[in-house]
A and B are shown apart, each in its own frame.
Chain A
Amino acid sequence: MIDRKDAYEIVLVALQEVFAQTGAPAPDNLGDDTVLVGVDPVLDSLGVVQLIVEVEQRVEAQHGLALTLANDKAMSARSSPFRTIGVLADHVVTTAQEVAS
């Protein structure tokens, strides 16, 4: 099972990987409230796609869980589960619990 701390670490490392791949400078002070989708995001829309895939792949490699983070529930939610690092980490935990059960 993935706890919140594990999920947060995975998102953070995945985000650093996306910055490295795209050549964009990583902003200082990345944290729970760092915006991924919305006003002044740290990534463009393709960067978000890349981040979500990177997180899925890391969860699969480290925890053996095949998640699809952009699932029906996520894409029909009133507010995006990808909007900040913290919200995405929460979404990873929830989705992992659903898949594991």
Chain B
Amino acid sequence: MSAEQPVMVVTGARKGIGRFLVEHYLSKGYLVEGCSRGQADLKDANYRHHEVDVADEKGVRGMVADISKRHGRIDAVLNNAAIASMNHVLLTPAKSANRMLEVNVTGTMLVCRDTAKVMMRRRYGRIVNFTTIVAPIALAGEAVYAASKSAVVTFTRILAFELGQWGITCNSFGATPIMTDMIKGVPKDKVDAVVNGLAIKRLGTPQDCANVCDFFINPASDNITGQVIYLGGVS
């Protein structure tokens, strides 16, 4: 990473963990380019928001072209955008399942693909793809969401091998439950049951996420790739 202002892309940047990470990295001197399907209310000279659905191939291509044109570089990408639908599999419509796969898997792939092309030029890049602990703990009621996030982990492991020669590292990060809009509809007893099964029996925080991302995107982490870190003792 050069001494110039580094450029970061954060997907799902409008609210929740994404919004926290945007503000975290703005405070660290990054130029941050965020995206989400809706408008964002964050006003900062070093922040630009793109109203883009990560599952829209043309939208992602256009967003990355715009970032490349204005900055000529992308140093780090945090693929945080995701949708979840907590449903028993017997009550899950195909449309809902397909949409989760489209956003969580294809969307992650599209952002990785197009940003990596920009990173290749400078032979430097850091990609962090967000997964979840509900995959390794096999949480009932989350089958399709967990499957989509397992796909993200496998995708990221292989991506690490495909992009390593260009100095691009690719890692995954799985948070424990964090009180965001995504889980606000989940009954408290279900959340408590998950937390009680963890080694560290507390909810996750956006700061936990920033801590792991800080590690993965550190220029010194150039030999850390293809890994997945879960919070709370999950493995």
Contact (Cβ within 8 A) A57 B117: yes
- Chain A, interface SS category: helix
Mask: chain B, 18-45; 1 = CB below 8 Å from A; 0 = not: 0000000000000000000000000000
Contact (Cβ within 8 A) B61 A57: no
The interface residues of chain B lying within 8 Å CB-to-CB of A50 are 120
The interface residues of chain A lying within 8 Å CB-to-CB of B61 are 66, 68
Q: Check A60/B68 contact, CB under 8 A, given A53-B117, A53-B120.
A: yes
The interface residues of chain B lying within 8 Å CB-to-CB of A66 are 61-62, 64-65
The interface residues of chain B lying within 8 Å CB-to-CB of A60 are 65, 68-69
The B110-125 residues at the A interface (CB cut-off 8 A) are: 117-118, 120-121
B57 close to A (CB within 8 Å)? yes
The B39-98 residues at the A interface (CB cut-off 8 A) are: 57, 61-62, 64-65, 68-69
Q: List 19 A-B contacts (CB under 8 A).
A: A46-B165, A50-B120, A53-B117, A53-B120, A56-B117, A57-B68, A57-B117, A57-B118, A57-B121, A60-B65, A60-B68, A60-B69, A64-B69, A66-B61, A66-B62, A66-B64, A66-B65, A68-B57, A68-B61
The 7 closest A-B pairs by CB, nearest first: A66-B65, A53-B117, A66-B61, A60-B65, A68-B61, A66-B62, A53-B120
